[in-house]
Amino acid sequence: MEKKIIIVTAPSGAGKTTIVKKLLAEMPQLAFSISAATREARANEVDGRDYYFMTTDEFHQKIDENAFAEYEMVYAGKYYGTLKSELERIWSNDQIPMVDIDVKGALSIKEKYHQEALTIFIQPPSIDALRERLSERGTETQASLDERLAKARYELSFSHEFDKIVVNDVLERAYEEVKNLVKDFLNIK
Ligand SMILES: Nc1nc2c(ncn2[C@@H]2O[C@H](COP(=O)(O)OP(=O)(O)O)[C@@H](O)[C@H]2O)c(=O)[nH]1
Ligand SMILES: Nc1ncnc2c1ncn2[C@@H]1O[C@H](COP(=O)(O)OP(=O)(O)O)[C@@H](O)[C@H]1O
């Protein structure tokens, strides 16, 4: 089977996880690419399901082994990365990896797999909407909220680097748009 890959990226809080999870539940052809990360697990997160949680030393070791398709220091000294072994695991199951990563990581993975990739940028309707969504999600402190919003302004300037931009205004509408893009890419009716 051809090794296709779908990359969804967005500023934090734009809704990409919500959209990706919904799509994964509906399309068995896809599998979530579980990233490695050095941040603390949140209360509802499970190692090996949400992330492969690692210490910084373990992450450095993987970098030295050239084990990553891409990695970035995303927030506050925390590393996140896509393991090559994770993509291979999904391809060997005859599924297509759905990669949910930050904008810089998405650009580098796109560079690597550009011939087989569909890249989608989820755009929030506005910075104010982002602030509201992140506050309501209840996962951020004032400092981490400010950090995410500053990064979002920067990331929004890269939206045109991706194959498709989907504005997440009304969730259901944005979701349908993403689903149709994925179906087109996979030649599914
Ligand atoms: N470059 C890169 N970024 C990642 C990876 N996995 C997750 N991220 C990004 O890291 C950021 C922070 O993730 P997280 O702390 O879980 O917050 P959330 O996505 O806002 O819920 C998000 O923008 C993710 O898209 C990865 O493997 N590589
Ligand atoms: N279209 C939308 N309108 C309002 N709230 C939304 C919409 N899409 C997602 N959300 C909410 O915004 C918050 C951030 O979404 P999430 O999927 O966690 O974003 P990301 O993965 O991009 O950081 C969540 O609480 C989610 O329920």
pLDDT tens profile 168-188: 999 999 999 999 999 999 999
Binding-site sequence positions: 10-17
What's the token pair of residue 57?
A: 């030393």
Asked if the model's pLDDT at residue 1 lies above 80, the reply is no
Segment among 77-91, 135-149, 157-171 with least mean pLDDT: 135-149
Please name the residue whose Cα sits nearest to atom 14 of ligand 2: 13
Domain ranges (residues) in the chain: 5-186
Spell out which residues line ligand 2, taking CB within 6 angstroms: 10, 12-18, 133, 136-137, 168, 170-171
Is domain 5-186 annotated with CATH 3.40.50.720?
no
Q: Residue 124 and residue 153: Cα distance in Å, rounded?
A: 11
Q: Residue 171 and residue 177: Cα distance in Å, rounded?
A: 10
Residue-wise burial string across 141-159, b where 16 or more C-beta atoms lie within 10 A, e elsewhere? eeeebeebbebbeebbeeb
Average pLDDT over every residue of 86-99: 97
Asked if the model's pLDDT at residue 74 lies above 90, the reply is no
Question: For residue 116, what are the CA distances in angstroms to 5, 65, 94, 96?
Answer: 6, 25, 15, 10
Q: What is the pLDDT of residue 12?
A: 85
What's the token pair of residue 161?
A: 């680097």
Spell out which residues line ligand 1, taking CB within 6 angstroms: 12, 17, 35, 39, 70, 72, 74-75, 80-82, 100-102, 105
Q: What share of the chain is helix, strand, coil (3-state, %, to 5)?
A: 45, 25, 30
Residue of higher predicted confidence among 60 and 12: 60
